[in-house]
Amino acid sequence: MEAVLFDMDGTLINSEPYWLIAETALLARYDHKWTDEDQAYCLGGPLPKVGAYMSKLAGEVHDALYFENELVRLVAEQFTKGLKFIPGAAELVHELVEANIPVALVSASPRLLVDSAIALLPPGTFATSISSEDVTVSKPDPESYLKAATHLGVDITKCLVIEDSRTGIEAGLASGAIVLGIPHLVTYPPTPRLHLLHGLVGIKAADINEIFLTESQEAHNATRI
């Protein structure tokens, strides 16, 4: 394993409650009660998908771009109130850095929000970072993960992606990486190159490497059958 590519929202930081608060408040302006189904559909973005969905729910009184920009503004306000790590995430990132394994932060969120998360950890923790503004097509397209691997100078098939959303998991798999999925609000079926866990608490760098090696070997064996 040459690098670990970390998703941000719901994987590194517990930002999903902030997105939920912002989405609920924004759609309440248009007399729509934001539901668990709405939240599950929008989990992991990308923002154009969320903006278009919100515009439709609001009766298209504004276009998708308006809802994208207003949502990011509201979430940024929430971020200023303080961010918390997903349990076990910061410890795992620290372990990976100590083990000299490069870590990238790869998000479908705008640069403003990505930099807010990066600032929570010591400078230089992430070898590179990718935001929605750094790609032409967001997740579930694999561009963000492929670009992160290119920035790191590593083969994407030698990378492990850590994701929590269906959109992100699909992006990681499409890139050719091994994916460690920690899904919530959604389920994901058994899939080659995908290892599912309930959380990151107690997960060490050695565990991550073992998951990578196991999934890589199983995927290799499957191609030979």
Indicate which CATH number applies to the domain containing 204: 3.40.50.1000
Residues 185 and 142 in one domain: yes
Residue 72 to residue 46: CA distance in whole angstroms: 12
What pLDDT, in 10s, does the model give residues 90-115?
999 999 999 999 999 999 999 989 99
Q: What is the pLDDT of residue 70?
A: 94
Task: Give pairs for 49-55: CB < 8 Å, separation 24+.
Answer: 50/23, 54/23, 54/26, 54/27
Residues 117 and 63 in one domain: no
Residue 94: count other Cβ atoms within 10 Å of its Cβ: 15
- Is 69 found in the same domain as 170? no
Within this chain, do residues 206 and 147 fall inside the same structural domain, yes or no?
yes
Q: Are residues 113 and 216 in the same domain?
A: yes
- Long-range interactions of 19-25: CB distance < 8 A, separation 24+: 19/71, 19/75, 21/74, 21/78, 22/71, 22/74, 22/75, 22/77, 22/78, 23/50, 23/54, 23/71, 25/74
Give yes or no: residues 8 and 104 share one domain.
yes
From the list 66, 64, 62, 85, the residue with the least C-alpha distance to 74 is 66
**Is residue 220's pLDDT more than 90?**
no
**pLDDT value at position 80?**
81
| pLDDT greater than 80 at residue 185 | no
Tell me what pLDDT residue 51 has: 95
> Are 55 and 98 in a shared domain?
no
Domain that holds residue 42: 16-79
With cut-offs at 50, 70 and 90, classify the pLDDT of residue 76: confident
Q: How many domains does the chain contain in total?
A: 2
Asked whether residue 72 falls in the same domain as residue 181, the answer is no
Among residues 27, 58, 79, the one where a domain terminates is 79
129 and 206 assigned to the same domain: yes
Query: Based on the domain organization, do 24 and 106 belong to the same domain?
Result: no
Answer yes or no: do 98 and 190 share one domain: yes
- What is the model's pLDDT at position 170? 95
How does residue 224 score in pLDDT terms, banded at 50, 70 and 90? low
For residue 225, pLDDT beyond 90: no
Q: Do 8 and 22 fall within a single domain?
A: no
pLDDT (tens digit per residue) in 113-145: 999 899 989 999 999 999 999 999 999 999 999
Please state the pTM of the whole predicted model.
0.84
pLDDT for 106 equals: 98
pLDDT confidence of 213, banded at 50, 70, 90? very high
Give me the mean pLDDT over the 28-55 stretch. Answer: 91
Question: Does residue 219 have a pLDDT over 90?
Answer: no
